[in-house]
Amino acid sequence: MSQFWFYFKLGLTHVLDIDAYDHVLFFVALTIPYAFKDWKRVIWLVTIFTIGHTFSLLLSVYNIVSFSVRLIEFLIPLTIFITAVFNIFTAGKVNAKEKWGVTFFTTLFFGLIHGFGFSNYFRQIVAAADSKLLPTLEFALGIEAAQVIVVLIVLVLSFVAHSIFRFSKKEWILVVSGIVLGFVIPMLRETWPF
């Protein structure tokens, strides 16, 4: 049982670490176009991201695939940038249901990229484990729980912004996506691999 809590907590802190806020920024950008009534759809997106993230970890811990750390460190903020820019260009124009297919596959792909960002460190942690699959799944549960926490906070803040402060949905998406871009553009400059 202590092994479960170790990997579960590692997954929680991986997402909720204040010094490594890329996951939080990604989920803020991903969630901001949705309202509380869309919570099932958002939870599906969280799960799809976790599946992609876990799959890339498994590919790494079993030494099937590896990527340049420098490239992945650039691609992670790029995924956040793309998500925020997509929000800005589609705010008020595209119904969340209409962009579901694009969002679904993009979230899965971005989950793969984010998973490779942690894969080298995670591979070292599970190197001595008898089974690499179980720790990876326990870690994934921690990631899923942390991402649900982030999504719920974003949905509550969106509800408050819409109902109390009377932001329109479009204004709220533009403001929050702009704030996300303000955080991610310096990350892109810092990690530029070329």
**Are the CB atoms for 118 and 14 separated by under 8 Å?**
yes
pLDDT, tens digit, 9 for 90 and up, residues 76-123: 999 999 999 999 999 877 565 566 788 899 999 999 999 999 998 999
**Are the CB atoms for 26 and 114 separated by under 8 Å?**
yes
Contacts of 13 (CB under 8 A, 6+ apart): 142, 146
pLDDT of the residue at 95: 62
**Are the CB atoms for 158 and 35 separated by under 8 Å?**
yes
The model's pTM is 0.93
**Are the CB atoms for 103 and 45 separated by under 8 Å?**
yes
Domain ranges, residue 158: 2-191
Q: Please report which residue ranges of the chain form alpha helices under DSSP H.
A: 2-16, 22-31, 39-61, 69-90, 100-126, 133-163, 169-191
pLDDT, tens digit, 9 for 90 and up, residues 160-178: 999 999 999 999 999 999 9
Residue given tokens 């009534």 in the structure block: 37
DSSP string, 87-144: HHHHTTTS-TTTTHHHHHHHHHHHHHHHHHHHHHHHHHHHTT-S-SHHHHHHHHHHHH
Phi, psi of 74 (to 5 degrees): -85, -40
pLDDT > 70: percent of the chain: 96
**Are the CB atoms for 150 and 28 separated by under 8 Å?**
yes
What is the CB neighbour count within 10 angstroms for residue 178?
A: 12
How many domains does the chain divide into? 1
pLDDT of the residue at 91: 87
pLDDT at 187 over 80: yes
Residue given tokens 């920024």 in the structure block: 25
**Are the CB atoms for 108 and 52 separated by under 8 Å?**
yes
